[in-house]
Each structure stands twice: as C-alpha cells, then as structure tokens.
Amino acid sequence: MSIQPDWVQEAWDQSKAKVKRISRRIGDGFPHASVNGEYQLERPSWWTAGFWPGMLWQVYRDTKDEELKEAAESCERQLDALLMDSRMVDHDIGFMWTLTSGARYKLLGAEDSKRRALLAANLLAARFNVQGNYIRAWNGEHIAGWAIIDCLMNLPLLHWASSVTGDPRYKYIAVKHADTVLQHFYRPDGSVAHIVVFDPETGEKLEVKGGQGYSPESAWSRGTAWAIYGMSLSYHYTGNPQYLDAAKRTAHFFLANLPEDQVPTWDFRTPEGNSSIRDSSAGACAASGLLLLADQVDGLEAEMYRRSGERILHSLYMNYGAWDSETEEGLILHGTGHFPEQRNVDVPLIYGDYYFVEGISVLKGFKERFW
C-alpha cells in the first residue's frame, strides 16, 4: 500500500478552504473560466455546468458541509429544463449529469437524482450514430458526423445506466463508441486526434480536424488527457484489455512529452513561438487518470503511474496554486481553454480545478469516483 505523501493533507485542506471561501460568492452558479481573478458564470446549458457542483460534492463527502450540499443540489435542479429539450444538450451530457445527479445518487441514494441521470443517459444514447458507431458531438447544421475525443469521459454515464437498470443497451453504445475511438482517433505513438468527421449517412471516415489543438496532426494535451482517463474508465467498466493498452500507450506519450515541471504545454506539437504556453487543466485531468490507471495494474507498473500522477499534482499544488490569493478565485493557475481561438488562455478553468481536487481526494483515500 502506498504511503500518502506529506504534502497531500495540506493540499486537501487548502482546497477545501478555498472551495468554501469562493462558494460564498459563486453559490449555485456555473463558473467556467476565471477572468481578472473572478470566475465568470455561464448559463446552465454550458458544457462545464457539472464541474462546480461536482467539486462541491467532493468536498461535502469529507466535510458534510450543508451549505455546499444545498448549492450543489440547486445546481442540479437548474439543469432540469435541459432534460426536456434535446436541442439544449449535446455529447457533454455525461460531464453535466455524472457530476451532479450521478454524484448525489452515489453519495445520498437520492431517487430523484437517479431519475434525472437516467433521463440524461437516454438523451446521450439517442446521439449514437448506428452507421458510424459514434456518439455525435455538437448540434447544428453540417456537423452531424462530428465526434470528439472528449466524449470518452461521457461514457461512464451509459455504463452506470446499464448497471442500475439491468439494460445492456446503454453499455453497448459506450463500447461501440470506445471501439471507434481506438480505430479512428488513435495513432501508433499513443497520441490522439481531437475531431474526426464521419459521413453521417454511411459512417465512412472523412477527415480529421485540429479542433482545439494546433493542427489535425498535432497532439492537443487536454485531448491526450481525456484519452488517458477515458480509456482507463472504459477498461474499468468492461475489462477489455484493448482499452487498458490504449490508456497505457497514451499515458507514456503524455509523460514522455512533459516539460521539467511536469505540467504540459497546451499542445505537444507546436511551433517554437507558442510551445511554452501551459494547460494546467490537462495536467490535472491526466493526473487523475493516471491514478486510476495505477489501480488497474500491479507492482512496479502501478507504482510508476501513481508516482507520475503524484508528481503532476504536486507541481500543480506548489507551482500553480493560488491558495492564499485574495484576488484570484481559481485554485489552479495557467489553464488554456481554446488556444487557436484565443479564448481563456492562461487562466484558471473550473475543470482544471475539479480534476485537481478529485486527484487529491484520491490520494487522500477517497477511492470511489463519481465517473
């Protein structure tokens, strides 16, 4: 059994204290990116709506703070209107309801949360294209054939739905999508594409797009992190060794390309001019995925993945944290949202904060994840 590093308790205490502090302003809002030190609130339909309540549930699990619980529950209720209109949601349904309704059901056994999460799972399953075996990404004209690497993180909602209903159809969709990612997103070196475009009528692969990465052939670091964590989760739910092998290959690619401080640049393949710009959110997500991967293998291999996740989280805590700042609401600095569009560059991001808190909670011993 691994010994908890000395700094972990301090990081956990700092995280809990800051979440409590910023909750007094954010309340049941939906923060996305911190601009000039203050988290900007988005509409409930924005894809990151689940991360703040998910972080509240992470802290509540330890503190039983009723104010945090009430804020998380209010966030969940605000998402109800989206469940009545499929035009208001897209592939990120899993991000949104896994960390709200799914988390509350796992922690409290709340039946209303179970119903919400199952409704969300049905909406996600309805986005499956049977010709191409993929879950459609965004809504809109001319993009019915688009699928993205991020969606691996939405698949746990479908696996959960199968487990609680006894209906394997949700799981089959998740497996088919993961298999499509293996076939069409993965490269031999373990790097992955962000967007793959299919013909929605025939299922034929048409092209690869760069998306939030530098180019179609580059290696967007957060996409790489989604693949590490997402494939580890697919292995967790299915036991398919192909998913475990994919997670390992991507983990090795990610770790081999980290700079000295263990926090990735926004894309591992960029020209010299912007190659130093970090994405702390990619580091936090990858670290949490590496800790899951460590639990799925044995011996020295497990130790290697665990140590790698610890090193990333330690660097984020020591070098990127804004723990005592009175002028910055974000926990972790230097995230990059969408560099090609120059949106939310070099700012704290709520999903970076969430995955940092999740990773530290795992090191603290909270082994059951919301995913």
Catalytic positions: 92, 150
Distances (CA, A) of 142 to 89, 105, 136, 137, 201: 17, 37, 12, 12, 12
Alpha helices, DSSP H only, in 27-149? 51-63, 66-78, 93-97, 103-108, 111-125
Residue 82 CA to residue 102 CA, distance in Å, equals 16
User: Are 146 and 157 a contacting pair, CB within 8 Å?
Assistant: no
Task: Give which of 353, 358, 360 is closest to 331, Cα–Cα.
Answer: 353
Residue 360 CA to residue 14 CA, distance in Å, equals 11
The answer for residues whose C-beta is within 8 angstroms of residue 205's C-beta and 6 or more apart is 132, 184, 196, 197, 198
Q: Is 35 helix (H, G, I), strand (E, B) or coil?
A: strand
